[in-house]
Structures are given as structure tokens and as C-alpha cells.
């Protein structure tokens, strides 16, 4: 696979919600090996665009194309474990998917959660939970990693460690990354391209 091959292409994507325009004629491509950071104010349509790219919601118009060999890994903007469902971290990682256990443990080591595998998911701190979500996303061996504000609600130290981990994964595994972030100063160096979104692509 060459670095010029587009893994995801968005063409003229528009979306409205309750008669309010959320996305207006958005177009861009994510190519193999790229690291694209998506920025913009709250309510700019960033999470909506991510959900359209993933096929979680349908755009009113426009077209999404994905390469035939795409393997997606995704971490959502928000995730709250159900406190009434007793599940361990390792149970969550295995949930609804078949994973070779040696690969699971390698991924746990990579993301720094190996000591948490037997812990209840509901007992984790914000930073620990983000690492678990990242580990689960990596279990699909993705060539595209989509991260929706992965450092949200972390303190400065937690943000720095998580962004460093994401950068290491990008460099070591060569997957393309599309990340929503408000911390451009922390991820600018790694970014191949920065997209500023406010309903439409304002700048690149």
C-alpha cells in the first residue's frame, strides 16, 4: 500500500439536525500513514463528521468511500461504563469479538493497562479508561484509527502521556490517524494535516 492511497474519502457531506445545519459540503481524504487532526469550536460538527465517516449516522447528501481493505479502530468522545454491569477490563476487551489472547496481552502492554486487566471497568480513572478504549480499538489491527477527543477530561500530565502514546502507535504501526482535539499545540508536530471545521472545512 502506498502513502498516496486514500483509505477514507468524504465528498460534499452535508447534514442537518432538527433543521439546523451541522455539516455543509465537507470534503477531505485520509490517506495511508497520515495523521490528520480535526479542530474547531464546540458545536462545529466534529463528532457528527466522525459518526458519518464511521457509518453511525447517515448524511443528508454527499458520499463516503472506504478502501476495500480498511480496518477501523475507534474511540468515542464519551464512554461511561454501566455501574450495574460487573465486567472486568479483560472481559470488556474480549466483548463481542474474538481476540488471540497473546495479542491482547501485547496490546495491553503497549497501552500500559496490563496491571488493570482484572480490575472492574467501572473502577477506572479517566486516564485509565481512555487507555483501555485505545487498547480495544487496536485489537482490530486497524490501518485507520479514529479518535474523538481522546484526552478529554484528563489533566495536563494525563494528556501528555496519552498523546505521546498515540504518536508512538502511529509511528510504530503505520496506521492512519484521524483525531479530534482541542490541544493543537500538543499534537501539531505529529500532524500531517490540520483541518479546521466549523460546519465546513474553514482551513487546512
Three-class SS of the chain: CCCCCEEEEEEEEEEEECCEEEEEEEEEEEECCCEEEEECCCCCCHHHHHHHHHCCCCCCEEEEEECCCCCEEEECCCCCCCCCCCCEHHHHHHCCCCCCHHHHHHHHHHHCCHHHCCCEHHHCCHHHHHHHHHHHHHCCCCCEEEEECCCCCCCHHHHHHHHHHHHHHHHHHCCEEEEECCCHHHHCCCCCEEEEEECEEEEC
Report residue 159's pLDDT band, with 50, 70 and 90 as the boundaries. confident
Supply the pLDDT for residue 153. Answer: 76
100-127 pLDDT, tens digit each: 999 999 999 999 999 999 999 999 998 8
How many CB atoms lie under 10 A from the CB of residue 32?
17
Cell of 130: 481512555
d(CA 180, CA 77): 9
Supply the pLDDT for residue 89. Answer: 96
Q: Report whether pLDDT(83) > 90.
A: no
Taking phi first (over 0 means left), then psi (-120 to 50 degrees means alpha), and beta for anything else, what does residue 23 get? beta
d(CA 15, CA 199): 9
Q: Report whether pLDDT(80) > 70.
A: yes
Give the burial class of 94: count Cβ atoms within 10 A of its Cβ; 0-12 exposed, 13-18 middle, 19 or more buried. middle
d(CA 37, CA 96): 29
CATH number for domain 6-78+142-203, candidates 3.10.105.10, 3.40.50.300, 1.10.760.10, 3.40.50.2000: 3.40.50.300
**Per-domain residue ranges for the chain?**
6-78+142-203
* Separation in Å, CA 169 to CA 3, 126, 135: 17, 20, 11
6-52 pLDDT, tens digit each: 999 999 999 998 889 999 999 999 999 999 999 988 888 899 999 99
Amino acid at each position: 500500500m502506498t502513502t498516496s492511497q486514500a483509505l477514507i474519502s468524504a465528498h460534499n457531506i452535508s447534514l442537518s439536525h432538527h433543521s439546523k445545519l451541522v455539516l455543509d459540503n465537507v470534503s477531505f481524504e485520509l490517506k495511508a500513514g497520515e495523521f490528520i487532526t480535526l479542530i474547531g469550536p464546540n458545536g462545529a460538527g466534529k463528532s457528527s463528521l466522525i459518526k458519518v465517516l464511521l457509518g453511525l449516522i447517515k448524511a443528508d447528501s454527499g458520499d463516503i468511500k472506504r478502501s476495500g481493505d480498511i480496518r477501523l479502530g475507534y474511540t468515542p468522545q464519551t464512554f461511561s461504563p454501566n455501574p450495574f454491569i460487573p465486567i472486568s477490563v479483560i472481559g470488556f476487551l474480549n466483548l463481542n469479538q474474538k481476540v488471540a489472547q497473546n495479542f491482547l496481552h501485547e496490546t495491553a502492554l503497549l497501552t500500559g493497562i496490563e496491571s488493570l486487566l482484572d480490575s472492574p471497568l467501572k473502577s477506572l480513572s479517566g486516564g485509565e479508561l481512555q487507555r483501555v478504549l485505545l487498547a480495544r480499538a487496536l485489537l482490530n489491527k486497524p490501518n485507520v484509527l479514529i479518535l474523538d477527543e481522546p484526552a478529554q477530561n484528563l489533566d495536563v500530565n494525563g494528556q501528555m502521556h496519552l498523546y505521546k502514546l498515540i504518536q508512538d502507535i502511529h509511528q510504530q504501526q503505520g496506521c492512519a490517524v484521524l483525531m479530534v482535539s482541542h490541544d493543537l499545540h500538543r499534537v501539531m508536530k505529529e500532524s500531517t494535516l490540520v483541518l479546521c471545521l466549523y460546519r465546513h472545512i474553514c482551513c487546512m
